[in-house]
Structures are given as structure tokens and as C-alpha cells.
Amino acid sequence: MTKTEFIKAVSDKTGLTVGELNRVFDGFVYVLQEQLVAGEKVQLSNLGIFDVATRAERTIKNHFTGKEQVVAAKKVVKYKPSKYLTDVVNE
């Protein structure tokens, strides 16, 4: 499902316009990004927890060249679904 399809489906369920929902969705994504960049955990009821973790530097083997190379440490976004969402998906 694309963003456009998602917003249209929410519009059909709520009666809100596609334009209103686009602004809400864009605002949601912006605030989520702001909080994650600031190192904050974002916990949303019935959806899950978004958090940032640091993946350590590691050595990998390049499958194309066969040589080892170092992958630098980096931050990654972690998502843990809520128990409610997990239960709904597994019904």
C-alpha cells in the first residue's frame, strides 16, 4: 500500500479530506523524525515503539570480491510492534 492509497483509505473511514490527511501524515512523519534525531523513543499506543540504536562497526566479506571490508558504525531506526497490533495480525 502506498502513501496515497493509505491516505485515501483513511479518508474513506473518517470522512476527512485527502488534503487534511496529507498534512496530518506529513506532520506525523516530521515529528517522528525530529524525536528520533533527538534520541527520543516514540511510543504509540496500539502501534508500537520507534527507537534509534547504534549498530557497531563490523567487518564483512564482500561476496563479489571475496575481500573483507569494514562497515562503519551507524545509527538505525528500530521498530517494535505493540502487543495489540501483533495480536490483530495473528488473528
pLDDT digits (tens, 9 = 90+) for 14-32: 999 999 999 999 999 999 9
The answer to whether position 91 is within a domain reads no
Specify the amino acid at residue 2. T
The answer to whether position 61 is within a domain reads yes
Q: Are residues 27 and 55 in the same domain?
A: no
Band of pLDDT at residue 37, cut at 50, 70 and 90: very high
The answer to whether position 87 is within a domain reads no
- What is the number of domains present in the chain? 2
Domain holding 19, by residue range, is 1-40
Band of pLDDT at residue 40, cut at 50, 70 and 90: very high
- 32-60 average pLDDT score: 97
Q: Are residues 16 and 32 in the same domain?
A: yes
